[in-house]
Structure 1
Amino acid sequence: MSQPTPVLSGFAFTESPRWREDRLWFSDFYQDQVFSATEDGSDIRVEATVDQQPSGLGWLPDGRMLIVSMRDARILRREPDGKLSVHADLGGRMQGHANDMVVDADGRAWVGSFGFDLMGGAPLAPAALYRVDPDGGVTEAATDLWFPNGMVITPDRVLLVNETFGNRVTAFDIGEDGQLRNRRVWAEFGDLPTEREFAGLVTQLVVSGDGACLDAEGGLWIADAIGARLLRVTEGGTVTDEIRPGTNVYACALGGAQRRTLFACTAPDFFEEARRPVREAAIMALPVTVPGL
């Protein structure tokens, strides 16, 4: 497999890439903006400005975009005129920042949280996963997740959740009522870490799954935030492909005209103090054999 090549550069910290309407959409945490661009990286547009730091992206059935506003734990909705309104307020429920999100075909959104003050150096603590219904109602959907992060929904309505600090991917069946059932480990890479301080924790991580995307054969591409690599994993934890882009990688998406381009969000690290003042983040791309859904 060929090595990734940069298609977009000059960003602070790119995250949450999504392919939609023949464009790659993504957040830049530390420029406080959501962008989109064509497959080759041209025609870059600013799609939204989120003062409290944008993260996960998704779309309602009517095409309006949802954006996670991290610092104030809100889900924003972009109206047809481009203005942002509050779709849901999760403030007071979450510990630490709101984080990534996936939205299903019915407009239900699942949103993860840090669970602790990562940037402030607090010790690791478990976090909850929240469901936001189309009317903006909020329900705690699952608990005791170790930094729930990148999520996908399979065609048979299984929610897969990367637990960044848990060495695993956890699966839930999504009921017709939106309830999560039959919790199980979909892929396990190592033991659950026992260290709670970040410096010790990272030494116990085998795979630190950050962002993820699903291909047409059920393979889950995972950005390994600690291992500086992209992994394609199948149910049970088998790694079928490994790509090392030469820098840290934090999220990925399958897109392009044939859905056979793997886009990867890269940066030297994720720390705000280091990333916000510089523009060293990029999005790389490489062709893959199995297309995205």
Structure 2
Amino acid sequence: MKATVITEGLAFGESPRWHEGRLWLCNWGTGEILAVDEEGKSEVMLTVPAVLPYSIDWLPDGRLLVVSGREGLLLRQDADGTLVTHADLRGLSQTPWNEIVVDGRGNIYINGGGPAPAPGEHFGPGTIVLITPDGAIRQVAEDIAFANGMVVTPDNRTLIVAESHARRLTAFDVAGDGSLSNRRVWADLGTDYPDGIALDAEGCVWYADVPNRHCVRVREGGQRLDRIEVDRGCFACMLGGEDGRTLYILAAEWRGFEHMVSDARTGQVLSAAVSAPGVGWPSYSSGTR
């Protein structure tokens, strides 16, 4: 399979979401949240007081949420456009927060964080926290080996997270109160390093891989079904388009953590037609949750 470049000149694109007919993404290093249409025309929707990491999703009522990772805050954009603090996570972590997913019941899951890394390491063991619709915050998983992309199945009963440093996708059962249990390996990915992920209607997951410069579609158990190779690191992917059958890939040249914030603008959005539409959360049809 091949992908077509539709937008370039980004810094690092992350946290893609299909929302109201466009691909929204975080342009790490700039503070920008962009929306890109299917022809590649981009618009700055919001500039946030964060450099990296930051990630986005929406509440069921349509209000935008932004994880300001280093600041330890979950921000919410209210109807008048102002950003307010939706939840304060600073007391739960010594390291930055990373990704977010809001399920169909309005439960918010945020990963990353956790204890300080060991000397010489960039990241310590990560966690997953839950913020319920009533505002209660609690940790629901720990010891995640570099927590990255997350999805929740359409029935709101399974959460899958990419453990990049463990080279696997890990699943949890989701209880009625949002708690996570029955942790298990959903797919062992061998020498691949999953970053952002997306779930399709056949129960398969697409994952982006930075060092191996590809996106791969995998079935539970680890069988690889499709692969899209590009010429730079793949940081995230999302299913979208009018019928949900377009895979959007966020890619950029990787030169190490110390060079993530720079003047280089090697980031791209690519697209490829795929067979199965997106399902679950984050929803490719966000805005009509």
Query: 2:263 is matched with which residue: 277, 287, 293?
Result: 277
Q: Is 2:149 aligned against 1:164?
A: no
Distance 2:135 2:259 in 1: 33
Q: What does 1:21-36 align with in structure 2 at a 5 Å threshold?
A: 21-36=20-35
Shift of 1:149: 0.9
Q: What does 1:249-268 align with in structure 2 at a 5 Å threshold?
A: 249-268=234-253
Q: Is 2:182 aligned against 1:182?
A: yes
- Is the partner of 2:166 in helix, strand or coil? coil
Shift of 1:48: 1.9
Amino acid at match of 1:13: F
Q: Is 2:269 aligned against 1:286?
A: no
Percent identity reads 41
Q: Give unmatched runs, 5+ long, in structure 1.
A: 191-205
Distance 1:268 1:181 in 2: 37
Amino acid at match of 1:85: V
Match for residue 198 of structure 1? none
Kindly indicate whether the alpha-carbon contact (under 8 Å) linking 1:149 and 1:163 is maintained by their aligned counterparts in 2: yes
Distance 2:232 2:115 in 1: 26
Q: What does 1:123-142 align with in structure 2 at a 5 Å threshold?
A: 124-142=123-141
Q: How many residues align?
A: 275
Q: Give unmatched runs, 5+ long, in structure 2.
A: 280-289
1:123 and 1:29, CA in 2 relative to 1: closer, same or farther beyond 3 A?
closer
Query: 1:45 is matched with which residue: 39, 43, 46?
Result: 43
Large movers: runs of 4+ above 4 Å:
114-118
Distance 1:186 1:80 in 2: 39
**Can you list the C-alpha shifts for 1:54-77, whole angstroms capped at 9, x where unaligned?**
522111111001111111111111
- Is the partner of 1:165 in helix, strand or coil? helix
Match for residue 245 of structure 1? 230
Match for residue 67 of structure 1? 66
Distance 1:146 1:250 in 2: 17
Match for residue 228 of structure 1? 213
- Is the partner of 1:92 in helix, strand or coil? helix
TM-score, structure 1 normalization: 0.89
1:144 and 1:22, CA in 2 relative to 1: closer, same or farther beyond 3 A?
same
**Can you list the C-alpha shifts for 1:62-102, whole angstroms capped at 9, x where unaligned?**
10011111111111111111111111111131232110111
Match for residue 215 of structure 1? 200
**Can you list the C-alpha shifts for 1:206-263, whole angstroms capped at 9, x where unaligned?**
1111000011111100001221110101101111111111111100001011211110
Kindly indicate whether the alpha-carbon contact (under 8 Å) linking 1:151 and 1:211 is maintained by their aligned counterparts in 2: yes
1:272 and 1:5, CA in 2 relative to 1: closer, same or farther beyond 3 A?
farther
Kindly indicate whether the alpha-carbon contact (under 8 Å) linking 1:112 and 1:147 is maintained by their aligned counterparts in 2: no
Kindly indicate whether the alpha-carbon contact (under 8 Å) linking 2:116 and 2:124 is maintained by their aligned counterparts in 1: no
TM-score, structure 2 normalization: 0.90
Amino acid at match of 1:261: T
Kindly indicate whether the alpha-carbon contact (under 8 Å) linking 1:114 and 1:127 is maintained by their aligned counterparts in 2: yes
Higher relative contact order (CA 8 A, sep 6+): 2
Distance 1:33 1:73 in 2: 18
